Amino acid sequence: MLKTIIADAGYGSEVNYVYTVGEDEEERFEFLIPYGTYLKEQTRKYKNDIINVKN
C-alpha cells in the first residue's frame, strides 16, 4: 500500500485532496500535491506585484 503520494500541480484539485484526506477527515496517505498557482506565487515578480491582494 502506498504511504506517500507525490504529484504535480495538475493533480491539485479538490477531488484529489478529498480522496487523500478521506471523508472522515483522517489522512489516508501522506501527500505532497501543490495547488494550481503555488509555483507562480513563489516567484519574485508575483510577490512584489502590488495588484495582488496579499501584497
List the chain domain ranges: 4-48
Comparing CA positions, the residue from 32, 27, 23, 38 lying closest to residue 5 is 32
State residue 12's pLDDT score.
83
Q: What is the pLDDT of residues 1-55, one digit of tens each?
A: 678 888 888 888 888 888 888 777 676 778 888 888 888 889 999 999 989 887 7
- List all residues 6 or more positions away from 21 whose beta carbon is below 8 Å from its beta carbon: 27, 28
State residue 25's pLDDT score.
67
- List all residues 6 or more positions away from 42 whose beta carbon is below 8 Å from its beta carbon: none
State residue 48's pLDDT score.
92
What are 32's strand-pairing partners?
6
Residue 14 has phi, psi (to 5 degrees) of -60, -35
